[in-house]
Amino acid sequence: MDNKDMDTQKQPAGNTLETERTKTGKVFVPRVDIYETQDSIVLTADMPGVDEKAVDITLEKNVLTITGSVAVTGFEGHAMAYSEYDVGDFERAFTISDEVDRDKIEATVKNGVLRVILHKAEKVKARKIAITAA
């Protein structure tokens, strides 16, 4: 993908859950890649400033919500001189289908990237059908 055409600014979130937050501060929608492998659906989200302790994943009914809280910090003895991006929490929700095995969701955070692996339920795993030449 050509980077020059990409919008590099973070998108401010609408209220994804139509509820109010108890914490003030900005919330952003993380950029997400979702891809499907043979037995799983993998979601990766850019959440810079988030580590494994600050991330929260919930699955309620069929809504998967990912949140990451980022501590807004300054640097001692330094004043902000110029700013192109804002710092704040991340939040996003996805509707997932029944195909996902709810008891087998894995998540890791590395270098500010959250990776959630949703394993497909046994019954929906595609069966390979061998085609024989006539």
Please identify, among the stretches 1-9, 15-23, 97-105, 117-125, the one whose residues bind another protein according to the rule CB under 8 A: 1-9
Distance CA 107, CA 13 (A): 23
Binding of another protein at residue 66 (CB under 8 A)?
no
CB 55 within 8 A of CB 47: yes
Please identify, among the stretches 17-25, 71-79, 99-107, 116-124, the one whose residues bind another protein according to the rule CB under 8 A: 71-79
CB nearer to another protein: pick between 8 and 132:
8
Residues 23-42 that bind another protein (CB under 8 A): 31-38, 41
CB nearer to another protein: pick between 4 and 19:
4
Closest CA to 27 of 83, 80, 69, 66: 69
Closest CA to 55 of 22, 13, 89: 89
CB 11 within 8 A of CB 26: no
Applying CB under 8 A, the residues found at the interface with another protein are 1-4, 6-9, 31-38, 41, 44, 46-51, 74-75, 77-85, 110-113
